[in-house]
Amino acid sequence: MTFVQTIFSTFKEIVQTAFISLAIFFFVYIFLLQPHRVKGDSMLPNFHDGELLLTEKVTYRLYKPRRGDVIVFRAPQRNVDFIKRIVGLPGNTVRIEDGTVFIDDERLAEPYETQKTQGSATVVLGQDEYFVLGDNRGSSSDSRSFGPIKRNAIKGKVSLVYWPIPQSAVSGGIRTVSGVDYGIPDTFYDR
């Protein structure tokens, strides 16, 4: 093998490796996982401004979103992703009254809530709609302001906070994210 052939062979292997790596990256990014950054205080105290999350996209291809899931979705009428918690499912009636959230006339116990839910509203969700709220209700733009979100706006379920790694006063550190069991059935058939 000549020197030129060796250089060409090495260059060809580098290009092939780069191409395969990019293909794997885009497959994972488009179909499996996507990173997101928390912006603002709407999910305090559970998610802090600047934390980096992994949003997994597989679960909602196989299962329906559940009450208590923390999701990332495309905000209605904006070109930005939001992170919020699902409280109302398709077919539910969500009522906000005197600082409390009710689902189908059952009080929603919210262990992550930092303050009373402001405003009053009653929303009957359609078959493809979800009602989402931020954990920090006083600093959250959510379904109270822009209405329910459609199923196709949901990008995925937050599964992991991966940055910053150490726990501190302004971050919970690296951790997995799970939903909340409200004790209210997700569907009529769960009763």
Strands 129-133 and 121-124, bridge-based pairing: unpaired
Catalytic residue among 9, 21, 42, 116: 42
84 is catalytic: yes
Q: How far apart are CA 172 and CA 185, in angstroms?
A: 30
Q: Quote the tokens at residue 42.
A: 């709407």
Q: How far apart are CA 159 and CA 109, in angstroms?
A: 22
Catalytic residue among 57, 84, 155, 157: 84
Q: Quote the tokens at residue 129.
A: 């709609």
Q: How far apart are CA 149 and CA 154, in angstroms?
A: 8
Mapped onto helix, strand or coil, the DSSP state of residue 80 is: coil
The gap from C-alpha 45 to its chain's centroid, in whole angstroms, comes to: 16
21 is catalytic: no
Q: How far apart are CA 88 and CA 186, in angstroms?
A: 9
CA distances to 49, 94, 113, 142, 174 from 42, in Å? 9, 20, 11, 9, 19
Catalytic residues: 42, 84
